[in-house]
Structure 1
Amino acid sequence: MKTLLSGGTVVSMDPAVGDLDRGDVLIENGVIAEVADRIHAPDAEVIDASDRIVMPGFVDNHRHNWQTAFRGIGADWTFLQWATAMHGTVKAHYTPEDVYAATLLGRLEALHSGITTMLDWYHVAQDHEHEDAAIAALREAPGRSIFCLGAGWATSRPVDDDIRRVRAEVDGHGLVTMAFGLRGADDTGMDTLTRELQLADELGLRTSLHTGSDGTQRPIADMHKHGLLRGTTTFVHGNGISDGELRMLADAGSSISVSPDVELKMGFGAPMTGRALAAGMRPTLSIDVVPSVGGDMFAAMRAAFAAERGLDGGLRARDLLEFATIDAAASCGLEARTGSIAPGKEADIILLRTDDVTIFPVTEPAGSIVSAGHPGLVDTVLVAGRVVKRDGALVGVDVPALRTRLLESRDRIAAAAGVPLDGTWNPQP
C-alpha cells in the first residue's frame, strides 16, 4: 500500500532531509519511503498537501489522561488544590468504565490536535480492572501510545506484581507500549526507588519520575549518589533543582519533560527549558493535566517559548518544534521510529492548513506554527501511515456517543464525591 503526500511545505525535523518549500512524501506500508521535491508514484493514493505544512506529529511524553472528564474545572487551582480534588476527592470514585471513557476521549482529543504519540502517565490505580480499562482504551484509539503504569499518589504499596502483569500483556510491539511511572524517594524512600529501577531494568522498561525542589532538597544529587540516574528516565517538571543537578542528568543521558502551562499556573516556578539547555540537555514538552490547562501542543510550545524568551531571549521557534517532536520521541526511546520525516521511519505525520486566516500568510513555517498554530489547523493526521483524521475530522469515530459517555461518567463521579460542577468547587487542602 502506497500513499503520496503531494505538494506540501515539508518541515521534516531531520537535518539530512531538511525543509522543502514544495515537497512530496511517499509512504509504503506505513513507512516513509522517500522525501523529495517531486515523486512519481502513479500507483499511490494521493493526498493533496498543497496549502498545507507537512510535519511530524507531536509527542506528548507526560499526561494524566484519566482526568479528561474534569477538563477545565481546575483552571484557577493551585497544585495543592488540584491534588486535593483529583487524588483526594474524585479518584476513589472512578470505576473501570470511567477510566476507559476518560482515556479514550482524551487520547482521541490529543490525536485530533496533532499529537500522534502520547505517554499516558496512569496513577488512578485501584485494581487490575482499572488498568486493563486504560489499556483497552489506548488500543482502541488509533494513536501511538505509551501506557506508563504508576503506583498511585504518594503510596508505598508494592507494585512489582502489577508491573509484571501488565508487561506480560503489553510486550513492547505495536502502537501501544509500556513504561514504568516511578515514585520519588521522598514518597517511598531510596530503597523502594532502587528496587523499582532494578525492576525496570530487568523488564526493559523506560521510566518517568516527577521531581522538583524548593531549594532545600537535592533529589537528583541523592539519586546520583546511589547510582540511580539512567539514560532511560524522563524527569518530569524539575522546577527548582540546581544547575549542578541538571548537569548530572545531562551526563547520565536522562531527559526532562517541561509542562509549562501547569508549572506557571500552579506555582511550581519557572519552567526549566533554558536551564536544561544550558546544562547540555534537550528539554521536551508535555501537557500534564487538562483540568487545569489545554490539551494541545501548540499552547504548550507557546507558553514555554514566551516564558523562556522573557527570561533570556535565547530560544528560537525551531527549538520548540524539536522539543515537541524529535526530542520528545527520543525521551520515549522512539526516535528511530517517529519524531521526524525521514526515509525508514514510520509515517506519523500531520498536515496543517496554511490557508486558514488565523495563520495566513505563512512566510516562515516554524515561526508560524509556534506563534500562531492551534488545533483548528490540523487537517490530516497519519499514524504509522494510516489516516486517522481527514479533512478536519477523526476517521471512524462516533464523537457524539463518546461525549455522552464521558458526560455521564463525569456527572456520576461528581455526585458520588459530593462535589459541585457549577464553577463553585474550591478544594481546600
Structure 2
Amino acid sequence: MTSTYLLRDGLVIDTDPAPTVLGRADVLVQDGRIAAVGPDLASSAAAPLPADAEVIDASGRIVLPGFVDTHRHVWQAGIRAALPDGTLPAYVERVLGVLAPRHTADDVYAGTLAGALECLDSGVTTVVDWSHIQLRPEYAEASVSALRAAGARAVFGFCYFGDGDLDALAAETARVRDAYFDVPDGLLTMAMAALGPELTSPERALREWAVARDLGLPVTTHMGGHGAESAERGMAFLVDHGLMDQGAMYVHANHFTGDDLRRIAASGGTVSVTPGVEAALGLGPAATGRSLAAGVPTGLGADTVVSGPGDMFGVMGAAHVLERGRPDGAGMGFTTSDVLRMATIGGAEAAGLAGVTGSLAPGKQADLVVLRTDTPGMAAAHDPIAAVVRYAGTREVDTVLVAGRIVKRGGVLLGQDVPSLLASLESSAGRLTAA
C-alpha cells in the first residue's frame, strides 16, 4: 500500500502563524505525515522518493490544510432542513424533544456516517462531534463505529442524554471512555459534552465537570449564547466553583463580555463560533471578532444541518459577512485571512489539536485538501485566500487526505458505498420526520 505521496506543483497555502500563499510548490507526505513543503521536492530531496511513491498532479489546484469544524451535531444528517426558519426554543422542542427520541441505533449510525462523510466531502478533515443523541448505551457504539467507518479525524463529544441519574451519567461516561477510547486512536479522541452550567441544574453541571476532570476528558459546552443574564450566571458559576482551570471550549459565546472572553483566554479556554446557525436561530451577534481581539483561540463550526448548511465554505462566508456587517463598521478590519485561519489552525487550537493538524508544518498529520480552480466560480480569482473563503464550494473539493490516506479523489469519496448509505438515510429520515 502506498505510504508516500507527492502533491506536485500546486498553489500552496499554509496557515500558521497566519494564512500565507507559498506559491507553486510540492507537498511530500510520508507515513501519514507531512514530510516537506517546497518547490521541486522530487529532485531536491536528500534521498530519492520510494519506489512506491505516487505523484499527484496538483497543478492548477490549491493545496491547503484540511478544515477543522469545532462544533457539529454530526448525527443530525437524517433530519437535514427540518427547521430552516425556527428559533432556539423551537429547535429544543422539535429536534431534541420529538425527533431525537425517535432515533434507533441504526438511525444514529446512518446519520453519523452520512454527517461525517459530508464533512470529508467538503474538505472538513477534523470535526468536534457534539453528540447529544446519547439516549441509550448502544447509541455510543453506533456513533463511534460510524465515525471510524467514515475515516474522519474526530473528537467525540459524549453528552449523556439518558435519565437524570447523575451516578448513571458518571458510570456511562466512564464506560464509553473505557470501551472505545482506552487504546489510543490515531483519529478519534473523546471529550465531555457538558450541558452545564447554562442548560441544566447546578448539580448536574458540577457532576459533569467533575467526571471530566476525573476521566481526563476535555470539556466542550454550550455557553454564552442564551442571553446576557444566562451568560453572566454561567460564568459566575464556573468562577465560584473553581472550574475555569479546566480550559473548556465555549460554544456560542455571543453574550460574553470582553472581560469574560479575556477570562476564558487566561484560563486556557477556547471558543467555537457557529455564525450561520447562531444568526438563524436568533442567538445574537457572533463573537467572532471580539473573541479574537480578546486573545481566545477561536474556531468555526457548522453546528446543525437542521438549520443551516454543513460545509465549511458556507460557514466561512457567514463568518466574514456577519463580522464585517457589525454596526458602525466595528468589524471592517476582519479579513478573509482571519476567517481561513479560524477554519484551519485556529480550529485546531480551539479543539486542542494544534500539534496534530491545521497547518502544513512538517511532522504534522497529513490532513490536506486540494481545490479545483478550473470552475466558473473559481477561475481567474486574484486572491487565493479569498477564493477559498468566499468563492469555493464543495464542488471544488477534488482531493482530501486524512492522516495521509486519500478519502476523496477526483471529486469522489473513496471506500464508501454512498448510494446504499443514502438509501438508508432516506428511509431513516422518512420515518423520523413522519407526522
**Equivalent in 8, 20, 23 of residue 22 of structure 2:** 20
Report the CA distance between 1:28 and its aligned residue.
0.7
1:104 aligns with 2:106: no
Aligned counterparts of 1:340 and 1:221: Cα–Cα separation in 2: 36
Deviation of the 1:347 alpha carbon: 0.1
Q: 2 CA distance for matches of 1:256 and 1:275?
A: 11
1:327 maps to which of 330, 336, 346 = 346
Which position in structure 2 is the counterpart of 1:214? 227
Question: Which of 260, 274, 293 is the equivalent residue of 1:278?
Answer: 293
- Where do 1:104-253 residues align within 5 Å? 104-152=113-161, 157-158=166-167, 159-168=169-178, 169-171=180-182, 172-212=184-224, 213-217=226-230, 218=232, 219-230=234-245, 232-253=247-268
SS at match of 1:338: coil
Cα distance, 1:115 vs. partner?
A: 0.3
2:360 alignment partner, SS class: coil
Offset of 1:156 from its aligned partner? 6.3
Q: Deviations over 1:351-383 (max 9, x none)?
A: 011111111113211111112121111000000
For the Cα contact (< 8 Å) 2:371–2:399, is it kept in 1? yes
Query: Quick check: 1:146–1:179 contact (8 Å CA) kept in 2?
Result: yes
Q: What SS class does the counterpart of residue 216 from structure 1 fall into?
A: helix
Structure 1, residues 148-203: CA drift from partner, whole Å, max 9, x if none? 10123995644111111111121342212111101212444334323322322222
Give the total of aligned pairs: 416
Change in Cα spacing, 1:278 to 1:38, as seen in structure 2 (3 Å) is same
Which residue is equivalent to 1:6? 8
Cα displacement (A) at 1:216 = 2.3
Q: Which residue of 2 is the match for residue 66 of structure 1?
A: 75
Pairing 1:350–2:369 present: yes
8 Å Cα contact 1:250-1:279 kept in structure 2 = yes
* C-alpha distance in structure 1 between counterparts of 2:31 and 2:76, whole Å: 35
Cα distance in 2, alignment partners of residues 220 and 187 from structure 1? 13
Q: Using the TM superposition, give the Cα deviation of residue 257 of structure 1 relative to its aligned residue in structure 2, in angstroms.
A: 0.6
Q: Secondary structure at the match of 1:198?
A: helix
Distance change (3 Å), C-alpha of 1:210 and 1:304: same
Equivalent pair of 1:381/1:387 in contact (CA under 8 Å): yes
Q: TM-score, normalised by structure 2?
A: 0.92
- Pairwise CA distance, 1:7: 0.3
Cα deviation digits, residues 8-58 of structure 1 (max 9, x gap)? 011111349953210001111111111111201543210110111100000
CA drift at 1:2: 1.2
Q: Is the 8 A contact 2:19 2:337 kept in 1?
A: no
Structure 1 position 225, deviation (Å): 2.7
Q: Pick closer, same or farther for the CA change 1:17–1:332 going to 2, 3 Å.
A: closer
* 1:385 is the counterpart of 2:400: no
Preserved CA contact (<8 Å) 1:224 1:248: no
Match of 1:424 in 2: none
The residue identity in structure 1 corresponding to 2:302 is I
Query: Does 1:362 find its partner at 2:381?
Result: yes
Residue segments in structure 1 that go unaligned for 5+ positions in a row: 420-429
With structure 1 as the length reference, what TM-score do the two structures score?
0.93
Q: Are the equivalent residues in 1 in contact too, given 2:297–2:350 (CA < 8 A)?
A: no
What's the CA shift string for 1:358-410, capped at 9, x where partnerless?
11113211111112121111000000000000000001222111110001111
What's the secondary structure of 2:11's corresponding residue?
Answer: strand
- Percent of aligned pairs with the same amino acid: 41
Q: Structure 1 residue 278: deviation in Å? A: 2.1
Q: 1: distance between equivalents of 2:267 and 2:290?
A: 16
The CA distance in 2 between the partners of 1:115 and 1:187, in whole Å, is 28
Structure 1 stretch displaced more, 361-370 or 46-55? 361-370
* Pair 413,25 (structure 1): closer, same or farther in 2 beyond 3 Å: same
What's the C-alpha RMSD, in Å, of the aligned pairs?
A: 1.8
> Whole-Å Cα distance in 2 between the matches of residues 32 and 116 of structure 1?
15
Pairing partner for 2:56 from 24, 47, 62? 47
* 1:309–1:315 contact (8 Å) kept in structure 2: yes
Q: Does 1:268 align with 2:277?
A: no
The reply on whether 1:300 has 2:319 as its aligned counterpart is: no
Unaligned runs of at least 5 residues, structure 2: 43-47
8 Å contact 1:155–1:187 — kept in the other structure? no
